[in-house]
Amino acid sequence: MFKLTNKTAIVTGGGSGIGRAISVLFAQSGANVHILDFDISAATKTVEEIESNGVKASAHFCDVSKQEQVKSLINTIGTIDILVNNAGISHIGRVDNTSEEDFDRVYEVNVKGAYNMLQACIPVMQKQKGASIINMASIAAHVGLTDRFAYSMSKGAIFAMTLSVARDYIDSNIRCNSISPARVHTPFVDGFIAKSYPGQEAEMFKKLSDSQPIKRMAQPEEIAALALYLASDEAGFITGTDYPIDGGFIKLNN
């Protein structure tokens, strides 16, 4: 079950964190994975990890916020069975202390980047028998998070775009779903803690973990497992749905 044999998958932001875990698992499940990342070094390392297990994958430099760059790259890939819109950046701040520059930066990557990928990939998918799109949203699309104004804006947009795409292309057998993780233990989290709380890393890691009812952060591989299911043929009856994977955060954090 949940095999992706001979399917072509594109994963944006596949060089690290959740994207890396998705890329590795998809490749292990038989997919021909194309990793698109602004950090080509990180993407190449993920490919090397995949190929060490005897499976092929490809790394591509791509700034998803640049439409022509995205279109040019997609034209070289050909068939696209799976698109994972995972690339994204975070931002800490409220509306009154979020600068226009920071707001635009988050929008360009998280929102416009997903739009650029969708616009480039969907015409290719329409020529095929079907495809699966997975957008990485967040619990920030569902609940208010302190000091996450711009980030929440971007993930709310991802959630809404998922519904729109699912509705518009259902007759083309293109499924579109989203995943809304809570806090996931990635290199980004470790870097944020080290930069913001030097000398208090262990204490802050525990505090952030305990903020979720399940008392821990998710592992990237847990998010990847859900993505694998949604990308597989076994999820063929699922579209237009968001899947919180949040350790109980949305429903139990009263």
Cα–Cα dist 29/127, whole Å:
24
Number of H helices, E strands in the chain: 10, 7
Cα–Cα dist 107/160, whole Å:
14
CA dihedral 149, 88, 81, 179 (to 10 degrees): -40
How many C-beta atoms lie closer than 10 Å to residue 199's C-beta? 8
Q: Nearest to residue 180, comparing CAs of 95, 114, 241, 132?
A: 241
Q: Pick the catalytic residue: 115, 151, 169, 243?
A: 151
Please report the sign of the dihedral spanned by the C-alpha atoms of residue 14, residue 16, residue 21, residue 25: positive
Q: Nearest to residue 179, comparing CAs of 112, 225, 122?
A: 225
Strands (E), 137-201: 174-181
The verdict on whether 151 is a catalytic residue reads yes
Give me the active site residues, please. 151
